[in-house]
Structure formats: structure tokens, C-alpha cells
């Protein structure tokens, strides 16, 4: 394959996960690949592990800039290295620090974009992994399970997004390749020219998001710009997210799951969801789909009012970002090549 591939990883206090990821990288079939790592000021020994990773470029930030901004650093570095190259045949792989790869995973993802020039992104079948005996350094081991973590982002009429198949047992129900709305940020490959087509200043992911929902926002912008996204079930990986939970949890399970989250993370998730709507939801779309959007958003606000006031404070603090989001919205509209009726089909 003549294309160029950059494997971009952001680390933050991930020493317990990185040995498994690095071991799986050693066994990959895609050998012609640059590895670029941005560390967000880890203090758990992560840097000691990174120093022993051969042939990797490592950038260390003085503070935690978040998932989105750090990945933007790595993407800009990749694009700089490809100056003068045909970016339509250059690929950026974005990975979480807590994934484990099967040997053919990365090669199959890159080949899928090589075979379909109209696709701007792709994702494989991501199953769940968990740590057994995490409290003991000697007994701890990673267990790769047969429960689905994600087979792509699934949009709803209310403009909420979930991971397709999350929590289901893998019985082959997601073994057919096809199109998805977009890939999850846990492990995704992007065509470099597609990233350039939705670039805003020096951003690809939205740096104001810090973390959470930045993959949804990027997927939405890429779809609006006319790029499709591929699901490649033969590209299998594992992601540490535990085994509990189902794809469509009931109300009590949702409340339980939210209460397990730290307030800061719940605030970011909710705030960034609304910032994503500000950036990407068209006026005519909002009017047409207002019964679904209004019902779900109203329900979420009532829940936050009584159970999670921290989220409401986060939404208020997000108001200061509206001018920046509106500038990014104008850029997304300018890059858009898909009408609102066609966009509405993605959510039906």
C-alpha cells in the first residue's frame, strides 16, 4: 500500500493500560506506520513507558489540554510531515490509550479508506475489555470479552448519539460491512484530506470541548461536508469500558450510570452535547424535528434540575463559548455540501 498512515495516541495517566496497547502494536501487520504520542502531563509513570517505545515521536504537554486539543497537536504534526503529499491517500488513526488491537485491525481500517475514496472516516468492530484484579500489579490482567463496545455512532431523532450495539453480546449481528454516521473516538481512522476540509483555524476536533462528544461533532461536520463513514467489522479491537450496561438502558439504569460519573465529566458531556447542537443543527432541521428534540432536552433539563445541579452550572458556563461556537457554525455551513432534507435522513 502506497498510502501514509499516522497512529496518533493521547495519554494521560494510562500506565495500567499502555503495556497491552504497545504489545498489540508490536504485533500489527501494518508495519509502514508512524507513531505519534501526545502526553497530557501524566504523573503515574506513563512517560517512563513512552521513553521505551521505539520509533515513536512523543510530545509532552506541561498541563492536561484534554483529548481534543492534544489530538489536534498530533494531527497538525502529521499534516506537517505530509507537506506536498496527496492528502487523499494519507490517513490519521486516532486512538484511546485503553484500547487493544488485533494484528490486522489497523491495516484493514486503512485499506477500507484506500478502496473507497468517497469515505472520510472508518471504524472497526470494537468489543469490550476489562481489568481483572486491578488492585494487584502481579495478578492484574486484561480480559478481552465478546460483548460489543461500539460498531459506530448511532444518531436518534432527538439528536442524541449512542454507540451502536453497546452492551450486546457479539453473536455476529454486526458482521456486515456498511456505512455508519461516524466513528467513535476510541479508535477511528480519518482521511487527511477529509480532516482538512472541515478544519477550523488549527482545529480538527473542537478544542473547546476538552473531552467528550468531540467525535460526534467531527462526524457530523464530515457528513455535512459530503464524506461518508465506513464500518469495517473485520477490523477488531478491544476497549476498556467494563462489561456492565446495555445499549438501551432503562430509566433507572441511566440514572445509576450517570451517578457513577464524576460531576465534572457529566457536566462536560452535557455541555458539549449542547455545543454540538449549536454548531451543527440546521434551523429548518430544528423546526421539523422540534417535537423529538424538545421532549428529550426538556426531560434532561428537569432531571438535571433535581438531581444534577452541577450540570446546569456547566451549561451556564458554556454560554461564554457561544460566540466561538457560532463562528465555528458559520465555517461548518460554508463547508457543507448536503441539504437539510438529506441530513434529516441520517436521523430517521
Contact between residue 222 and residue 338 where contact means Cβ atoms under 8 Å apart:
no
Single out the residue of 150, 156, 217, 236 nearest to residue 186, CA to CA: 150
Contact between residue 217 and residue 321 where contact means Cβ atoms under 8 Å apart:
no
Cell of 316: 451556564
Single out the residue of 55, 92, 87, 86 nearest to residue 72, CA to CA: 92
Alpha-carbon Rg for the chain, nearest whole angstrom, is: 20
User: pTM score, two decimals?
Assistant: 0.90
pLDDT in tens, 73-123: 999 999 999 999 999 999 999 999 999 999 999 999 999 999 999 999 999
pLDDT in tens, 302-330: 877 777 777 777 777 788 899 999 999 99
Q: How confident is the model at residue 245 (pLDDT cuts 50, 70, 90)?
A: very low
Q: How confident is the model at residue 13 (pLDDT cuts 50, 70, 90)?
A: very high
Amino acid at each position: 500500500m502506497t498510502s501514509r498512515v499516522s497512529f496518533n495516541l493521547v495519554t494521560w495517566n494510562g500506565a495500567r493500560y499502555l503495556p497491552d496497547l504497545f504489545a498489540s502494536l508490536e504485533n500489527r501487520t501494518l508495519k509502514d506506520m508512524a507513531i505519534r504520542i501526545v502526553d497530557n502531563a501524566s504523573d503515574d509513570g506513563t512517560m517512563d513507558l513512552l521513553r521505551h517505545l521505539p520509533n515513536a515521536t512523543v510530545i509532552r504537554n506541561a498541563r492536561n489540554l484534554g483529548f481534543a486539543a492534544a489530538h489536534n497537536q498530533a494531527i497538525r504534526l502529521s499534516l506537517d510531515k505530509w507537506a506536498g503529499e496527496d492528502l487523499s491517500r494519507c490517513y490519521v488513526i486516532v486512538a484511546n490509550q485503553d484500547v487493544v488491537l488485533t494484528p490486522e485491525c489497523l491495516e484493514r481500517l486503512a485499506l477500507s479508506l484506500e478502496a473507497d475514496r468517497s469515505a472520510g472516516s472508518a471504524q472497526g468492530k470494537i468489543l469490550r475489555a476489562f481489568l481483572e484484579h486491578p488492585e494487584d500489579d502481579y495478578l492484574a490482567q486484561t480480559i478481552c470479552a465478546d460483548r460489543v463496545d461500539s460498531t459506530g455512532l448511532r444518531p436518534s431523532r432527538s439528536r442524541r448519539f449512542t454507540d451502536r450495539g453497546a452492551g450486546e453480546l457479539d453473536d455476529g449481528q454486526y458482521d456486515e460491512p456498511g456505512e455508519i454516521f461516524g466513528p467513535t473516538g476510541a479508535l477511528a481512522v480519518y482521511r487527511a484530506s477529509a480532516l482538512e476540509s472541515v478544519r477550523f483555524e488549527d482545529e480538527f476536533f473542537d478544542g473547546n470541548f476538552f473531552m467528550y462528544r468531540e467525535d460526534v461533532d467531527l462526524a457530523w461536520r464530515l457528513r455535512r461536508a459530503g464524506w461518508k463513514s465506513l464500518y469495517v467489522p473485520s477490523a477488531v479491537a478491544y476497549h476498556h469500558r467494563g462489561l456492565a450496561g446495555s445499549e438501551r438502558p432503562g430509566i433507572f439504569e441511566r440514572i445509576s450510570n450517570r451517578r457513577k460519573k464524576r460531576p465534572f465529566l457529566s457536566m462536560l458531556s452535557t455541555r458539549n452535547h449542547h455545543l454540538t447542537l449549536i454548531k451543527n443543527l440546521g434551523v429548518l432541521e430544528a423546526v421539523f424535528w422540534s417535537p423529538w428534540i424538545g421532549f428529550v432536552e426538556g426531560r434532561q433539563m428537569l432531571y438535571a434540575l433535581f438531581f444534577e445541579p452541577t450540570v446546569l452550572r456547566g451549561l451556564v458556563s458554556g454560554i461564554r463559548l457561544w460566540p466561538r461556537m457560532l463562528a465555528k457554525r458559520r465555517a461548518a455551513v460554508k463547508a457543507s455540501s448536503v441539504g437539510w432534507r438529506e441530513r434529516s435522513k441520517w436521523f430517521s
